[in-house]
């Protein structure tokens, strides 16, 4: 597809929202067409087959719709925010537009800095209990044999202050944990 966005790239949330909306609409249309075709036929065997097809089409459509509904209110951050963060891309790994789920909450991370000293995530959800979410995510990181040092920052100024205070990742020895942690966060994201 043209303009395809991958997890961790700026614009991913809006891109996935559009793609999933089209896929769910196609699934709903297929279900409705099957039910309409059922009403147009007189053959009982064909009616039964079309009914079964419509019922079996519901589950895949619902599986596509559930992450769409869970992430519907979270949009890609503004271009101005992206440009401010993008200025630091050469210094360390930065991921954008992640929506990470834990047992307790949905965490929309507009930007995540994956640094040898830790992971710093800017979260825009005001209702999220940061300490519980950090505890849960750090336990998952430790389960992957990574340092459990993820910090959730809810204040944009605090996030930029933290980002500007970090030394470039090139100043540290590369043991592969930064790339591994970045891939792990992408895999956890919707």
For residues 88 and 55, membership in a common domain is answered with: no
3-state DSSP assignment of residue 120: strand
Q: Which of 20, 55, 71 is the last residue of a domain?
A: 71
**Domain ranges, residue 57:** 12-71
- pLDDT recorded at residue 8: 86
Contact between 108 and 133 (Cβ < 8 Å): no
Contact between 168 and 78 (Cβ < 8 Å): no
Task: For residues 48 and 38, give the distance between their C-alpha atoms in angstroms, rounded to a whole number.
Answer: 8
Percentage of the residues of the chain whose pLDDT score is greater than 70: 99
Give the residues across from 122 on adjacent strands: 111, 153
Confidence of residue 160 (pLDDT cuts 50, 70, 90): very high
- Mean pLDDT for 133-155 is 89
- Mean pLDDT for 30-40 is 91
Confidence of residue 1 (pLDDT cuts 50, 70, 90): low
For residues 59 and 102, membership in a common domain is answered with: no
Task: For residues 93 and 129, give the distance between their C-alpha atoms in angstroms, rounded to a whole number.
Answer: 25
- Tokens (6 digits) for 73: 């209110």
Which region holds residue 151: left if phi is over 0, alpha if psi is between -120 and 50, else beta? beta
22 C-beta neighbours (distance < 10 Å), count: 11
- For 55-104, give the DSSP string: HHHHHHHHHHHHHHHHTTT--PPPHHHHHHHHTTTTTSEEEEEEEEE-SS
7 within domain boundaries: no
For residues 119 and 156, membership in a common domain is answered with: yes
- Residue (of 189, 14, 1) closest to 109 by Cα position: 189
* Counted domains in the chain: 2
- pLDDT recorded at residue 2: 66
For residues 29 and 123, membership in a common domain is answered with: no
- pLDDT recorded at residue 161: 92
- pLDDT recorded at residue 90: 85
For residues 181 and 103, membership in a common domain is answered with: yes
- Mean pLDDT for 129-134 is 88
144 within domain boundaries: yes
């Amino acid at each position: 597809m043209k303009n395809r966005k991958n997890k961790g790239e700026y614009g991913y949330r809006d891109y996935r929202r559009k793609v999933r909306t089209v896929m769910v609409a196609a699934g709903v249309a297929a279900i409705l067409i099957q039910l309409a075709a059922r009403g147009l036929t007189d053959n009982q065997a064909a009616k039964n087959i079309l009914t079964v097809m419509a019922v079996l089409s519901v589950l895949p459509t619902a599986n596509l719709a559930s992450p769409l509904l869970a992430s519907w209110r979270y949009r890609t951050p503004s271009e101005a925010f992206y440009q401010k963060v993008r200025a630091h891309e050469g210094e360390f790994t930065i991921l954008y537009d992640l929506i990470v789920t834990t047992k307790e909450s949905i965490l929309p991370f507009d930007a995540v800095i994956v640094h040898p000293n830790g992971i710093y995530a800017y979260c825009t959800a005001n209702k999220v209990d940061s300490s519980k979410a950090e505890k849960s995510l750090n336990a998952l990181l430790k389960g992957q044999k990574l340092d459990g040092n993820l910090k959730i920052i809810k204040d944009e100024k605090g996030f930029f202050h933290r980002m500007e205070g970090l030394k470039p990742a090139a100043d540290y020895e590369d043991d592969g944990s930064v790339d591994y942690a970045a891939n792990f966060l992408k895999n956890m994201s919707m």
